[in-house]
Chains A and B, each alone.
Chain A
Amino acid sequence: MVRMGTGPVVLALCIAIAAALLGCAGGPIMPVKEYETLIAGRLDADYVGDQTCLVRCHAHDQYKKWFEASTMGAQLSPESGLPLVNCESCHGPGSLAIENIKTVNGVETCDFKTFIDLKELPKQAQSLICLKCHSKNATFNLHNWNAGTHNMSGVSCFDCHNVHHGADLKVHPRDVAALCYNCHHYIKAEFSLPTHHAVPEGRMSCLDCHDPHGSPNEKQLKEATVKEVCTSCHAEKEGPFAYEHGDVTENCGNCHSPHGSINNGMLNARQPFLCLQCHESHRVGAAGSATRVDRQTRCTDCHSEIHGTDMPGSAARPGTLTR
């Protein structure tokens, strides 16, 4: 038995402070030397500014159009009032690239191999490209990123966010499911089962329940418990109730499959089998009797307040969830 009160809270605070002090010891970015070297680019190159990237080489091609349509594109302009970001912020200094511009088959090409090879960077170095800026502006959506499932499984910012494309760096809610399906193929199949949440219909997205940047809960669920995720919409089932269904309802996954299921109500199994896995049936009637037919059937026809209720049932057993 392990019970703790304020101990873990104090411990957690100490961990955070210790980590902060350690992080402070070497400056704002505690050097992960090897990664920092990778993302610094060629040390013998100089920064040359946007003109050289966007006026001549990419002036009329799709990259410039996409970039201008993105939030990052707005950050190229000092008029935006945003922290300035330009091509070299991520790709590295470009003087060596433009010194060696050649015309090949009528196309002007810079020596792009002198830039940082972003695709070949280790995943955590890729993320560091973004985190070096998104570390200092109180971006709390990244609060659980480092220890989260995605980062620890080798997913980087590049896998989901396309800096050059789209009106906003964020993935549009209607495009989220298709993006997630790229890795989580089987989830798409679960949403195709007979009962499912309205994700394929475009009325919900994965982000309604999950936080891909990390969360304190399993499966990167947004809220602290499974029940809190579900009752953010199904609030009528949150309780607390005077008569609870044990603490089974603390995790809706005990009975439901939230992506999709073969069974009504996204249940893991059909009634009465679902309930009989834990409960005895009614001890009533002989085989074939009318009472047996009426009682040993779909349990929630009578036990309709299965998620909890404030009204007692019969006199002898008030907690039967029938009212």
Chain B
Amino acid sequence: MKRLFLTLLIMVLLGAPLSAWGQGGDTPDAAGQAATDEGAAGVQSEVYGDMAELPPVEYLLEPEISAWLGARVVSVDGANRALEYGWPHSSVAGGFRLNINPLPHRLDAELDWLNKNDYVAELSYAYKDIVKFSYLGLGLWHNLDHFHPLVSTPARLIEKNPGWDYHVEVKDNRLALRLKWPEEPYHAFAEFRMFEKDGTVQQRFFGRQTLVDATDRKFSEERDIDWITRQYRAGINGNLGPVELEYAHRIKTFDPQRTVALKDFFNSGAGGGTYLAVHSVVPQLETQEDSVKVHTSYTGRVVGSATFVNGSKENHTSGASAEYRRGYADLTLIPLKDLTVAVRYRFKQTDTDNPSSVFDPTFLPVASRMRATKDSIDSTVNRAEVSVRYSPINAFSVKAEYDFVNTYRTNAKLWSQYLQNSVVIPYDQNEHIVKLGVNTRPFRSLSAKGSLEYTYTADPAYPTKPVNSFKGRFDTDWTPTESLSAGAYYRFFRGKNNTVHMDSSRDNIGALVTWSPLPRFSVYANYDYTRVKSESDVDFSFAVAPLTVEDHVPYQDNSHLYSLGMGYTFAVPLSVNTEFHQSWSSGRFRTSVVGGGAISTSYISPLINMNIRETGGSVKVGYDFPKGWGASVSYTVNDYQDLQDKPQDGLQDGTAHVGMVMVSKKW
């Protein structure tokens, strides 16, 4: 009766035509069934005799239905940063899971609802392999920081919304539909995504307070946003024998809807003085793209694939546009069982087209309202890669790779004037990258892998790009017994650019252990340490020439993360899970005294130093009652502490408490 009811429900939802199609659907593959019967016939089992006389398998595919309902209690003391991703209010919560398979239909639906701003919803439906539909809906609430600009005197800051809590609500909806030609490998597909950002964000600006104000001031004000990004993609693909081919067209639009721009007084810097300026304009954007993909069979000694993309982007507000072309080709060879060779080629070309000027509607003097623009950088990137993997035995493999990247930038020299030490962006930038990697499993319980990468960049375009760099990693996993597993890792990066005295390094080391000493009891512990160090020339200049350059200014960030957890299921269906974690993050950079006059940077110490501690934990108790009922209680706390306690850094202390009580039922 249950199956009949569910089938009728599906028929109502989908309509008669599909149901009729389903009822008249294919009968079991008689030849295939006969083959299996023939295979079983005559096979004698010591225990069961003639296997062909066994009854047929009953494919049950029982429906799976469960639901849960409860309450979520939220309390935040201090800044909402302690609950960065979460609506900071209490609510009713609940959800369900439904999986039913009245073949040839298959339906799966799931909802996890914490509140109207925090949820995940999924729906998928399939009819044989002919129709496949899926939907994913996601709600996310993001609490944002409120920055306090640094100023020499309070009068220099116009804070229009003191103490405001900024946030963004995100709604992400994705639909996908795939149709297949019955009994033939041809598909048509369509995808749609709508990504909506709604909320109140902080807008900072540098302007003047009134029309007669002659002093530049920093502004902080609220801005309502309601931005929608829509993406449509549709295409067809098919298996044509030797190759498979796909064509797709994609359109992406961004619509700022309301509050496209703000207006505040601004210093024209010309003879016009102060004027009411339009600023922080959010444009309407559109991208259109065609792509063709072709590939051979995925199996075999030779496998090839290629992709061709042709597209354009347009800014409907300013008229700026760009056209791009991309081509990718892969070829994989397995000349010997133990040897795999892959050759890859990548081509990306972007041609920008800016209007020669833009109209500044309120600029003064009026005669100068057509304001000149500058050509954006066009670029062409060619990348060729060759990698070889040799695996003589299952427990060992080595991989080597060489990449060459050429980036060509037109108009590069137009853009060099504001760079440090008058660094000139070159037209051509060539990179040579060599990688080596090893994977080994000397014992069944022990695995290790490591890799090393060296990059040489001739004439890097930007001071942050090293000329020579090394990057490496090492990972190991050890499982000596079924109840114990451990792992450790180390990563490093070293880069140098002697032209600007740039010396950059990153080290990251960590370990993790999971232990289950008893069948229903497990504990785990993790630790991670990261250190980022950099030195670079920095220009802190005086009004009077010459330019003052300070060499090897140091910068460093550190973080320590550790977490502990435990899970225990008692003899009765009672389970307890707890978890605790803490992270310490600190950083600083400082300049030093320069001859000819001390450069004090104490006024920006809130920005150049940081010290954050984040502590959190959770406990969850669950109990399974008879007949599929269950209940759970959980409590989560997260404490965020800005130990520097300077509001200018945008960080504030806060503690978030979240409690949940749930009742669930499984059918």
Contacts and interface: CB of A to CB of B under 8 A. Distances in A.
Contacts of B147: 298, 301
Contact of B299 (A32, A52, A242): A32
Interface residues of B, number: 229
Q: What DSSP secondary structure best describes chain B's contact surface? A: strand
Interface in B360-409: 360, 368, 371-374, 376-377, 379-380, 382, 387, 389, 391, 394, 397, 399, 406, 408-409
Residue in A79, A272, A288 whose Cβ sees the most chain B Cβ within 10 Å: A79
B494 interface: no
Contacts of A62: none
Interface string B126-150: 0111100000101010100101011
B502 to A, nearest CB: 7
Given A51-B55, A203-B140, A247-B377, A235 B150 contact: no
A26 to B, nearest CB: 8
B99 to A, nearest CB: 5
Contacts of A19: 296, 302-304, 331
A96 to B, nearest CB: 9
B415 A246 contact: yes
Interface residues of A, number: 168
A310 B318 contact: yes
A152 B147 CA distance: 46
A54 B138 CA distance: 39
A297 B306 contact: no
Contacts of A137: 129, 185, 239
B305 A241 contact: no
Interface in B577-620: 581, 583, 585, 587, 589, 597-600, 603-604, 607-608, 610, 612, 614
Contacts, number: 568
Contact of B587 (A20, A201, A242, A262): A262
A273 B464 CA distance: 11
B227 A11 contact: no
B381 to A, nearest CB: 9
A22 B296 CA distance: 10
Contacts of B587: 262-263, 270
A93 to B, nearest CB: 8
Contacts of A17: 243
B326 A224 contact: yes
B327 A9 contact: yes
A29 B346 CA distance: 27
Nearest to A208: B172
A2 B94 CA distance: 58
Contacts of A310: 281, 283, 315, 317-318, 320, 358
B656 interface: no
B153 interface: yes
Given A82-B129, A269-B555, A287 B599 contact: yes
Contact of B185 (A21, A49, A138): A138
B51 A311 contact: no
A9 B473 CA distance: 35
Contacts of B57: 50-51, 54-55, 76
B358 A312 contact: yes
Contacts of A152: 340, 342, 387, 389, 399
A276 B321 contact: no
Contact of B368 (A174, A240, A315): A315
Contacts of A54: 57
B344 interface: yes
Contacts of B237: 138, 140
A32 B337 contact: yes
Contact of A18 (B268, B279, B304, B327): B304
Contact of B543 (A52, A262, A284): A284
Interface in B72-92: 85-86
A58 to B, nearest CB: 10
A41 interface: no
A48 B409 contact: no
Given A101-B46, A198-B85, A233 B195 contact: yes
Contacts of A84: 29, 32
A276 B420 contact: yes
A306 to B, nearest CB: 11
B315 A8 contact: no
A221 interface: no
Contacts of B99: 69, 167
Interface in B325-341: 326-332, 334, 337, 340
B104 A144 contact: no
B587 to A, nearest CB: 6
B478 interface: no
Contacts of A301: 147, 149-150, 204, 206, 218
Given A76-B59, A138-B186, A272 B604 contact: yes
A143 B85 contact: no
A98 B508 contact: no
5 contacts: A15-B329, A15-B331, A19-B302, A82-B104, A192-B528
Given A243-B373, A294-B218, 5 more contacts: A29-B297, A78-B32, A189-B528, A285-B542, A290-B153
* Across the A-B interface, the 5 shortest Cβ-Cβ residue pairs: A81-B128, A19-B304, A78-B28, A30-B300, A49-B36
